[in-house]
Structure 1
Amino acid sequence: MTTQRKTSSNAARRSDASRRAILTAAFDLVSEVGYAKLSIEGIAARAGVGKQTIYRWWPSKGAVLFDAFLMFSEGPDGEVALPDTGDLEADLKTVMRATVAELNDPRYDEPMRALTTEIAHDPELAAAYAEQLDGPMKRIKKERLRAAQRAGQLGEDLDLDVAVEMLWGPLLNRWLQRGGPLTPEYADTLVETALNGLRPRG
């Protein structure tokens, strides 16, 4: 019985190590060669596994890349939360500046663009993205705005879904369209402009 448990534990560790190696390989390779040249064979070679191992867990390279994003987007304890110091404007500027830094990071730029393109053409991947990444992140953002609403810092009748779109939408659109420089100053201006319309009247 003890031998069986040890064997099972060792197999689980090897499986987890292989999974992390595959996801890391996919994330690194798409930055190096671009999504068009990314292949299951290339990911397998970089990760040191057989391509059948990848196909056993994922149906496509897009699905591998998406899971890589999930892995790299988790916090150290698996939890993600927006800061809440009581100063909504300062907290949002901190978050938006961090978002700008991530979007400007060459390590993340190509993988994020590739995933955005793939989601637009793969309904199953789009559904997984909405359920596992985009939806949870929107709920986290709304919860921070809801706390500010309870504190009287935002209008009581404010539509929080629209508020999230007003804050993050222009930033992501500028990045996606390469419509202008993404700077900390732009992030600050975006927060200030949005809050001017979201704060309580009077």
Structure 2
Amino acid sequence: MANKTAPDASRRSERSRRAILDAALELVGEVGYPKLTIEAIAARAGVGKQTIYRWWPSKAAVLLDAFIALTEEAAGGPDVEYEIPDTGDLEADLKMVLRATVDEMCDPRYERASRALAAEGVINAELAVQFVERVLEPQLQLYVKRLRAAQEAGQADPSFDPRIALELLVGPLAHRWLLRTRPMTHAYADAVVELALRGITPR
């Protein structure tokens, strides 16, 4: 009698986890966050809802992990460490990363999930903390590192606080995106960089 290989439980679990995350992203785009349910995610993923509750306490937690997985895939995988390039030209480097940020914010794959998480974070303090710790803060630290390098190279005023300076860059984009006041464009990203640099470059 031929030997039968035992099913790989970890592989099966990873397939289920991936299906759940994909289902959450698809459904939030189709029905919106208010109508998103664990039952609907389970049905779309082809798993029992108890499987979801074994890994996540809520639909918000599922969507957060789905969004993180999406951004990691876009970066090349969870083990890839992304950095803001340091070409020696601070303005060019910042314009490059802010243009890429505009593209991501306007991409429906990211926008639907990120808007849902932003809205839920207003009333769900635990989710807001998780979003800051797992998504926002790692990204902000990239700006801190690049701005400090510019200070050390004499390209930026050594007296300013990089944490405040980065808000001059990302704050306007977040405000325009959140309120949908005016279109998000590369030209706008470039203008934000140029204006911010007037305040942080050496006099």
Structure 1 length-normalised TM: 0.92
Q: In the alignment, is the contact (CA less than 8 A) between 1:18 and 1:49 conserved in 2?
A: yes
Q: In the alignment, is the contact (CA less than 8 A) between 2:42 and 2:49 conserved in 1?
A: yes
Q: In the alignment, is the contact (CA less than 8 A) between 2:67 and 2:110 conserved in 1?
A: no
Equivalent residue number for residue 160 of structure 1: 162
Q: State which of 166, 170, 180 in structure 1 corresponds to 2:172.
A: 170
Which amino acid in the other structure matches residue 64 of structure 1?
Answer: V
Q: Does 1:199 align with 2:197?
A: no
1:77 is displaced (CA, Å) by 3.9
Equivalent residue number for residue 130 of structure 2: 128
Q: In the alignment, is the contact (CA less than 8 A) between 1:30 and 1:38 conserved in 2?
A: yes
Secondary structure of the equivalent of 2:83? coil
1:35 is displaced (CA, Å) by 0.6
- Between the two proteins, the alignment pairs up a number of residues equal to 196
1:7 is displaced (CA, Å) by 4.8
Q: In the alignment, is the contact (CA less than 8 A) between 1:31 and 1:108 conserved in 2?
A: no
Equivalent residue number for residue 188 of structure 1: 190
Q: In the alignment, is the contact (CA less than 8 A) between 2:144 and 2:163 conserved in 1?
A: yes
* Inter-partner Cα distance in structure 2 for 1:47 and 1:81: 34
Equivalent residue number for residue 44 of structure 1: 42
CA distance 1:34–1:85, shift in 2 (3 Å): same
Structure 2 length-normalised TM: 0.92
Which amino acid in the other structure matches residue 194 of structure 2?
Answer: E
Equivalent residue number for residue 104 of structure 2: 102
* Inter-partner Cα distance in structure 2 for 1:91 and 1:154: 13
Instruction: Summarize deviations over 1:64-97 as a string: whole Å, max 9, x none.
Output: 1111111111221422222222211111111111
Question: Runs of 5+ in structure 2 lacking a partner?
Answer: none
Question: Runs of 5+ in structure 1 lacking a partner?
Answer: none
Aligned pairs for 1:134-149 within 5 A: 134-149=136-151
CA RMSD of aligned residues (A): 1.5
* Inter-partner Cα distance in structure 2 for 1:14 and 1:104: 34
* Inter-partner Cα distance in structure 2 for 1:41 and 1:25: 11
Moved over 2 A (4+): 77-80
Range 111-120 or range 75-84, more displaced: 75-84
* Inter-partner Cα distance in structure 1 for 2:202 and 2:157: 4
Q: Does 1:21 align with 2:19?
A: yes
Equivalent residue number for residue 76 of structure 1: 76
Equivalent residue number for residue 30 of structure 2: 32
Equivalent residue number for residue 60 of structure 1: 58
* Inter-partner Cα distance in structure 1 for 2:20 and 2:176: 31
* Inter-partner Cα distance in structure 1 for 2:199 and 2:163: 14
